[in-house]
Structure 1
Amino acid sequence: MPTAPTDRESLPVELVDTAGNTVGSCAVSEAHRAPGAPHRAFSVLVFDNSGRLLLQQRALGKTRFPARWSNTCCGHPAPGQAVAEAAGIRLGEEMGLRVRLTEVGVYRYRAEDPRTGYVEHEWDHVLTGMLDGAAPHPDPAEVAAYRWMTPDDLRRQMQEQPHEFSPWFAGVLEVATARPLTP
């Protein structure tokens, strides 16, 4: 018998202090209510062998920054869950991909969504992976569209049309490309 879809907004997230130490937990929806509670998150950036990055356009039904272009996938580990494990599961759920992921750094940010009033205040673990030719199979409830871009072309487009992209994307891109990618 199929299970009912998970209400992602009711799932718990891990609250953190300014040094990234766990200080508690609350529901996703509560962490994102203004003024925003600092919490642990992850951003995944998947590259192909030619160095292009897989972007997703966030679904129109997303509660935060809907319809904006962003990194391959993102989410929140459950309290106490290993970040790479949570990111791998979410990459499968959102994009239908299984990729070996490596954490490459952390990007801390706070961003208010002017359309919805929600706030992202995240200690964002950045993970990268290399896709070996498999095709994405995105969940339409999560992803409106996807495309591949080189980091240089992406940076140019972000400069020209910043409001087309999630506010964290430029920062996580810089963390992800600060050192050479390894297969």
Structure 2
Amino acid sequence: MSLSTLQHDSVILVDDAGRQIGTAQKNTVHTLDTPLHLAFSCYVFNSHGQVLITRRSLAKTTWPGVWTNSFCGHPLPGEDPDDAVRRRAQLELGLDLDQLKVVAPQFRYRATDASGIVENELCPVYRATTTAEPRVNPDEVMEFAWTDTSALHRAARDAPWAFSPWMVLQLRELGAHDA
């Protein structure tokens, strides 16, 4: 399916039950009073069972320079959710994904960045595998690391301020078996 330029700049607005209620331009939705919208997070694992974490580019509007899960994004209006995850993996990390599955379909969070900008997302969490090494897009990611899940859980527990708030919450919810 061909997606229009307008769709590429849009996010899907949802109600508290997760039903689509409209769309909004992405560059106008993230404000001091961000409406609830659809997003996704993904944790990518390699053949050694290590999880990929990334450090957000300093050019990012929210949480610049903070370590986070492998990648995040927003599905476009009319886009299949799995296709959205695969699209974003290519855009941010140059990765093809294998064994993509949703592990927390109803994850939702609201967090406020130091700048005052709010994230307010219904954000299904995915797990995927890959056999490739990332080729990062510097507009999105400034560095990456493969780590053991137990080390990631300890770090997020001991220094939550060093990580994105959504990742800290997701790790608490998922436990060691999924992320």
Matched, 1:110 2:116: no
Which 10-residue stretch deviates more, 36-45 or 24-33?
24-33
Contact 2:50–2:148 (Cα < 8 Å) also in 1:
yes
Alignment-mate amino acid for residue 122 of structure 1: E
Tell me how far apart the structure 2 counterparts of residues 16 and 61 of structure 1 sit (CA, whole Å).
27
- For each residue in 1:7-64, what CA deviation from the matched residue of structure 2 results, as whole angstroms up to 9, or x when unmatched? xxx8100001111110111012322112211000010110122221100000000001
Tell me how far apart the structure 1 counterparts of residues 27 and 170 of structure 2 sit (CA, whole Å).
23
- Consecutive unaligned residues of structure 2, counting only runs of 5 or more, are none
Number of paired residues?
Answer: 173
Alignment-mate amino acid for residue 127 of structure 2: T
Q: Measure how far apart 1:152 and its partner are.
A: 1.2
Which 10-residue stretch deviates more, 65-74 or 24-33?
24-33
Question: Aligned residue for 1:141?
Answer: 139
Question: Aligned residue for 2:52?
Answer: 54
Q: Measure how far apart 1:117 and its partner are.
A: 2.0
Contact 2:153–2:176 (Cα < 8 Å) also in 1:
no
What fraction of aligned residue pairs are identical, expressed as a percent?
Answer: 36
Tell me how far apart the structure 2 counterparts of residues 26 and 178 of structure 1 sit (CA, whole Å).
35
Alignment-mate amino acid for residue 125 of structure 2: V
Matched, 1:121 2:120: yes
Q: Measure how far apart 1:164 and its partner are.
A: 0.9
- Consecutive unaligned residues of structure 1, counting only runs of 5 or more, are 1-5
Q: Relative to structure 1, is the Cα distance of residues 176 and 102 closer, same or farther in structure 2, using a 3 angstrom cutoff?
A: farther
- Using the size of structure 2 for normalisation, the TM-score is 0.88
Contact 1:59–1:142 (Cα < 8 Å) also in 2:
yes
Q: Measure how far apart 1:172 and its partner are.
A: 2.6
Contact 2:53–2:68 (Cα < 8 Å) also in 1:
yes
- For each residue in 1:59-114, what CA deviation from the matched residue of structure 2 results, as whole angstroms up to 9, or x when unmatched? 00000110000011101011221111011011001001000321222310000001
**Residue correspondence of structure 1 range 1-183 to structure 2 within 5 A:** 11-100=9-98, 101-105=100-104, 106-114=106-114, 116-132=115-131, 134-174=132-172
Give 3-state SS (helix, strand or coil) of 2:39's partner: strand
Which 10-residue stretch deviates more, 53-62 or 42-51?
42-51
